[in-house]
Structure 1
Amino acid sequence: MRYILALWIVLWGSLCARTWMVQAGGEHTSLPAAIHRAAPGDTLRVMGGIYPGPIHIDKPLILMGTNWPVIDGNYQGTVVEITAPGVVLEGFLIRNSGINLSNEDAGIKVDAPRAILRGNRLEDVLFGAYLRQADSSIIRNNVIRGRTDLDIPRRGDLIRVWYSNAVTVDNNTLESGRDMIIWFSRGSVVQGNRVSRARYGVHFMYSDDCRIEENVFTHNSVGVYLMYSRRLILRRNTIAYNRGASGFGVGVKDFDDGLIEENLIVDNRVGIFVDNSPRSMDSHMTYRGNVIAYNDVGISLLSFVKRSILNRNSFLENYEQVGVTGAGFLKGNEWVGNFWSDYAGYDAAGDGVGDIPYRSEKLFEELTDRKPELRLFSYSPAIQAVNFAARAFPLVRPRPRVT
């Protein structure tokens, strides 16, 4: 009986919902006035034109833009603020937020669950789409461009998800912002996005059980950084040309039970950087089926990293295939079935598996792990001489990092 009553209320609400036209010269020319008059569940169809912000949506409404209506914030504060659940915002050009980092001025700020932000363009905004305690919201098919007149540290995050569980962020294009960041948010999906010219393509912190799949992260300082989280899956992403100060394609720190598989990681300063991951003694990390190619360093691990499983990865023509940071040598990890472009062994059986283990033991690489500034001499004749001497004289041969 209760189910029937609830269904009847929903159906009755949808039948009674009204569509309002907002346009220059029409009955409703002011977007705030139309929002004020509309009832929960109504649709506002907003025609092309320029509408001054800020706009506050405080009831569950559907706002549909036709011919790219512009909501202009006039460089003051947040342009669109949503505080009601179930709001849909689609088809708008939202521009010119304020630039106060302390106030977190944004193009769109959402403080309620189940929002849908779809097919919008955000330009010259400090923060782009900012979700705060907005569970089960969707950010889809938006194009968000940050403030190129500001240095990257002074820009906001083009997508920020904070304390918002089960969020979907998919098929967005982000350019010239600071980060896309997911904080304290469980069970979210980041899929099919393109992020470029940012600080971090995507940055996860304290967010468990999320998936990052089929994205393209290029020309950022760092492509992907996964920190203080558990059971994240990073799968089938393209991560390339990330060459900032650290220049990680993928960075992991204090990260447990992660799966990093089938990614294309190309032409970064460091393809994968591993810091204290896994963190817990009863957890592990898996790196499987990735193509790690043409990076300065293919994978760099802190010397105390253990319980990592690396199998079926292809290490292709990285200047340094494996780097070790800190004193000591790698122990307690599993390297099985990987392809190494500089493998010097043989396959007598013809089964595609080398008959002797791969050994990463170039003396110059060990020296550059200790003194990175020595990379200035990369590709010089002196380096060839150093590595030749290490092979010829066992007394100076370095201990293998990977066997």
Structure 2
Amino acid sequence: MRLLISFFLLAITSNGFCQRTIQKMIDTAQKHDTIIVKEGVYKEHDIIITKPITIIGKKNVVIDAEAKGYVFKVLADSVTIKNISAKNVGKSYTKDFAAIYISRSNHIVIENVTLTNVFFGLLIEKSKNIRIRNNYISSKATTEAGTGNGIHLWHCSNAEIEENELHSLRDGIYFEFVKNSVVKNNHSHHNLRYGLHFMFSNNNEYLQNTFNNNGAGVAVMFSKYIKMTRNKFLKNWGTASYGLLLKEIYDAEIIHNEFSENTIAINLEGATRINYVNNTFSNNGWALKVAGACYKNIFKSNNFLNNSFDVSYNSKLNDNSFKGNYWSSYTGYDLDKNGIGDVPYRPVKLFSYIVNKTPEAIILLRSLFVDIINFSEKVTPVFTPKNLVDEAPLMQKVL
């Protein structure tokens, strides 16, 4: 392996000035060489990599694509790009321009890279063994059609996406047909649509990420064998905004997550065999909004704190289990002092049923009328599932 330094690679332009080009460095290098790129601004686009190579920016290396296309196109295995900034990616309604485009390539590392004013940040397809770590990716999204996603994977496997910050994009992180991958310690915020959006992606883990102030929160669709642990879903407000949207999800674990100040913390549609354990739902409009075809879900040892509605349910049938949760609105007692309320708790209120049918009724929230109808439904359930009850409500919050 050789070490190439950009200072010695100069291209003479037609006007007689010397200009260093990264493409020239790559073309000159041999397989598995390391290129050290010297400080400076490089006005280049469509830099093509077709051999195993490592590119490392020494300090303050900026590549300006001048809105003309891609920055890097990686078409080889074993490529590493580190310590480089790129900006002004081309924008198109017919091409998915990206700062770094990776196709059919394996064993790729993208680390300590700053990408600004992008269309897509990283666009990766049909690749595996990808490591994306400690990068900053942003754009200036104003419309969904006018921008792409920060980290976009399609038909990939064994990816590690860690410690990245993504904002002002369409979706921060997007997975489609991705498997056996980990998304950890990322901060995805102020994106136009979703902080995280994945579909048809099985056997993936999402750990210790923060998703806040995104237009529609986080969407998880048509996937199975998912683990979501110790993530934060915060301040996702809007008429169609969720902390977490689950649609057609099977056999998943949602554990130790925080959902705070979202319009709907979790919206469930066709979610089956999911364990919700040790999560905290606080100050949301709806903590849980359960639509049809949700079966055999377990809600255990969760905290429900000061939500306008703890649970909303649109069916009279219930095949889900609620047991051993803490409900801040629970008013029962614990005579035997075992930490478990002696009176079962019904989390579904009649008013939530009414609001589901007639959203305009929300203006009556906090009124005496609402208290009266909720009490009557509590005494004699008619509209809410009779068996949707927590038989062992906790008297103290779960730590």
TM-score (norm 2): 0.90
Residues 245 and 389 (structure 1 numbering): CA distance in 2 closer, same or farther, change over 3 Å?
A: closer
Query: What corresponds to 2:7 in structure 1?
Result: 23
Is 1:155 the counterpart of 2:147? The answer is: yes
1:362 offset after TM fit, Å?
3.0
Are the equivalent residues in 1 in contact too, given 2:62–2:86 (CA < 8 A)?
A: yes
Task: Map 1:262-341 to 2 at 5 A.
Answer: 262-278=256-272, 284-325=273-314, 328-341=315-328
1:305 Cα deviation from its structure 2 partner: 1.8
Q: 1:5: which partner in 2?
A: none
Structure 1 residue 85 and structure 2 residue 77: aligned? yes
Which sits farther off after the overlay, 363-372 or 57-66?
363-372
Deviation at 1:89, TM superposition (A): 0.3
Contact 2:153 2:178 in 1 (8 A): yes
Structure 1: which amino acid aligns with 2:188?
V
Residue 202 of structure 1: aligned partner: 196
Farther off after superposition, 260-269 or 47-56: 47-56
For the residue of structure 2 that corresponds to 1:286, the secondary structure is strand
Read off the aligned partner of 1:163 and give its amino acid letter.
Answer: H
Pairwise CA RMSD of aligned residues?
1.9
| Cα distance in 2 between the residues matched to 1:62 and 1:39 | 11
Structure 2 gaps, min length 5:
12-18, 390-399
**Secondary structure at 1:268 match in 2:** coil
* Alignment match, 1:358: 345
Give 1:101 shift.
3.7
Compute the displacement of 1:395 (Å): 9.4
The secondary structure found in structure 2 opposite 1:77 is coil
1:222 Cα offset (Å) = 2.9
Counterpart of 1:225 (choices 219, 225, 234) is 219
Farther off after superposition, 104-113 or 356-365: 356-365
State the Cα distance separating 1:368 from its structure 2 match. 0.4
Q: Equivalents in 2 of 1:97, 1:244: separation in Å?
A: 30
Structure 1 361/38 Cα, relative in aligned 2: closer, same or farther at 3 Å? closer
Contact 1:23 1:49 in 2 (8 A): no
Task: Indicate which of 227, 238, 251 corresponds to 1:257.
Answer: 251
Alignment pair present for 1:102 and 2:86: no
User: Partners of 1:155 and 1:232 in 2: how far apart?
Assistant: 28
Contact 2:351 2:373 in 1 (8 A): no
Query: Is 2:337 the partner of 1:345?
Result: no
Counterpart of 1:127, as a letter, is F
Shift of 1:390: 4.9
Contact 1:207 1:230 (C-alpha < 8 Å) held by counterparts: yes
Query: Contact 1:191–1:215 (CA<8 Å) still a contact in 2?
Result: yes
Q: How many Å apart are 1:80 and its aligned residue?
A: 1.1
Distance 1:107 1:220 in 2: 22
Q: Secondary structure at the match of 2:128?
A: coil
**Distance in 1 between residues matched to 2:99 and 2:378, nearest whole Å:** 63
Task: Return the letter of the residue paired with 1:117.
Answer: I
**Of the candidates 126, 134, 137, which is equivalent to residue 130 of structure 2?**
137
- For residues 390 and 201 of structure 1, the distance between their equivalents in structure 2, rounded to whole angstroms, comes to 36
CA contact (8 A) 1:239 1:265 kept: yes
Q: What CA deviation, in whole Å up to 9, does each residue of 1:122-181 have, x standing for no partner? A: 000000011111200111100000124x32442101110111100111100001001111
Map of 2:370 onto structure 1: 386
Does residue 113 of structure 2 align to residue 120 of structure 1?
yes
Deviation at 1:364, TM superposition (A): 2.0
Report the Cα offset of residue 202 of structure 1: 0.8
Give the whole-Å Cα distance in 2 for the aligned partners of 1:151 and 1:295: 27
1:37 to 23, 28, 47: 28
Higher share of residues assigned helix? 1
Distance 1:393 1:310 in 2: 22
When the two structures are aligned, how many residues end up with a matched partner? 376
Query: Could you tell me which amino acid in structure 1 is paired with residue 364 of structure 2?
Result: F
What SS does the aligned partner of 2:110 have? strand
Distance in 2 between residues matched to 1:393 and 1:182, nearest whole Å: 43
- Conserved 8 A contact 1:48-1:67: yes
Residue 375 in structure 1 maps to residue 362 in structure 2: yes
1:211 deviation in Å? 0.1
Give deviations 1:89-116, integer Å, cap 9, x for gaps.
Answer: 0011111011114200111101111110
Partner secondary structure for residue 90 of structure 2:
coil
For residues 339 and 204 of structure 1, what CA distance do their matches in structure 2 show?
31
Name structure 1 gaps, 5 residues minimum. Answer: 1-16, 279-283
Q: Give me the TM-score of the superposition, normalised by structure 1.
A: 0.89
How far the C-alpha of 1:244 sits from its partner, in A, is 3.3
Identity of aligned residues (%): 27
Q: Is the 8 A contact 1:186 1:210 kept in 2?
A: yes
d(CA) in 2 for partners of 1:101, 1:256: 35
1:171 aligns with 2:157: no
Cα distance change of structure 1 residues 255 and 392 upon mapping to structure 2, 3 Å threshold = closer
1:232-247 matched pairs, under 5 angstroms: 232-247=226-241
